[in-house]
Amino acid sequence: MLCELCYQKVKTKRHIYNLFDPEIHHLCEACYQKYPLFPKVSVYPIEHYELRHYLMSSKHYSQNPSAYMSMLQTYYVIFLKHYSSHIFLYFDILEDNHLSLMDSLKLGNLFVVSLYENIEEKGE
């Protein structure tokens, strides 16, 4: 499989325990070193419910978001183990208007994962 950023072949060390495992990573080690993830968790109160926001990278690299798709497994496991009653939503880039839209829809408890965010911090 080729890296989604540099288009070089993704090399995985093979040993007896992962010999027949499929290649799932779309990002090579060199690109991950260059563009690492900086995860952050925030909880926002919305109308009678909560919105858990898992931000994968607090730095915006403007790279191809599909390169990081194999990193979503962690968030799926957290969702299924602890927050399976919430609604799972994924955004490549979370904008301010997405939050206000989700607040007004009153869908219930939300579990939102986004690769990047484009939200201005507002002081109170």
Q: Which of 38, 35, 19 is nearest to 27 (CA)?
A: 35
In whole angstroms, how close is the CB of 43 to Zn ion at the nearest point?
34
Q: Where are the beta strands (DSSP E) in the chain?
A: 40-46, 49-55, 87-95, 110-118
CA 20 from chain centre, in angstroms, equals 27
**Residues 6 or more apart in contact with residue 82 via CB below 8 angstroms:** none
In whole angstroms, how close is the CB of 59 to Zn ion at the nearest point?
17
Q: Which is nearer to Zn ion, 53 or 57 (CB)?
A: 57
In whole angstroms, how close is the CB of 37 to Zn ion at the nearest point?
15
Residues at the contact surface with Zn ion, assessed by CB under 5 A: 3, 5-6, 28, 31
Q: Which is nearer to Zn ion, 5 or 51 (CB)?
A: 5
Instruction: Return the residue matching tokens 């599909």.
Output: 66
Q: Which is nearer to Zn ion, 5 or 115 (CB)?
A: 5
